């Protein structure tokens, strides 16, 4: 299934780079056979990678159409479950998953309070790790988006803003990987719950 995220040549490259980073983070965290929440899961774009690590996977998305597509994804393993729900109120108890991923969401134009609310909810349901992506200013990518006519759809995160958000949400940075250093704004972060980082 070729969705918008992988339709064009440049987006196919971005998707390949994203998959590679996620794979490295999962290997670094030794998350083989563990539980993972993917939110928003979309149509299950990362599920093939998750299946390679034999993860017990639950996907959440607010769009019922995306959930239906995820349920039919050929990349589902025997224990992958897509559900409809909101990232602001995840329907799980505290510490339900070994890892929670949240890719291509926090760069949207949420308020500071909304972004903090999202991060706190991700932290709440995670036992150990949280993997997110954010957008940080990169001149070449900014120029490219300007010429494409999409300069105002993103919400950048400065280093200071990131530090404040992580502190207030109870997360600590373990590893950081830019998608393409100096060329693309997207940066992936492997985060640890503060209580786990101290162990």
Q: Among candidates 122, 133, 104, 170, which has minimal Cα distance to 25? A: 133
Q: How big, in percent rounded to 5, are the helix, strand and coil portions of the chain?
A: 40, 25, 35
Cα Rg of the chain (Å, integer): 16
Ordered per-residue pLDDT tens for the chain, 199 residues = 445 454 678 788 889 999 999 999 999 999 999 999 999 999 999 999 999 999 999 999 999 999 988 888 766 655 678 899 999 999 999 999 999 999 999 988 889 999 999 999 999 999 999 999 999 876 565 555 555 555 556 777 888 999 999 999 999 999 999 987 766 789 999 999 987 654 4
Confidence (pTM): 0.85
């Amino acid at each position: 299934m070729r969705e918008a995220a992988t339709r064009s040549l440049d987006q196919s490259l971005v998707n390949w780079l994203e998959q590679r980073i996620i794979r490295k983070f999962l290997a670094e965290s030794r998350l083989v056979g563990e539980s993972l929440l993917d939110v928003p899961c979309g149509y299950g774009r990362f599920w093939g990678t998750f299946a390679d690590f034999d993860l017990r996977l639950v996907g959440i998305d607010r769009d019922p159409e995306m959930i239906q597509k995820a349920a039919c994804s050929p990349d589902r393993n025997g224990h992958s479950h897509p559900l409809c729900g909101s990232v602001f109120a995840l329907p799980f108890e505290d510490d339900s998953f070994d890892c929670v991923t949240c890719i291509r969401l926090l760069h949207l134009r949420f308020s500071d309070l909304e972004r903090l609310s999202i991060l706190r909810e991700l932290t709440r349901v995670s036992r150990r790790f949280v993997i997110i992506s954010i957008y940080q200013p990169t001149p070449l990518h900014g120029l490219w988006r300007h010429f494409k006519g999409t300069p105002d759809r993103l919400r950048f995160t400065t280093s200071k803003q990131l530090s404040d958000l992580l502190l207030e949400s109870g997360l600590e940075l373990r590893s950081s990987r830019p998608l393409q250093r100096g060329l693309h704004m997207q940066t992936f972060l492997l985060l640890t719950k503060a209580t786990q980082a101290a162990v």
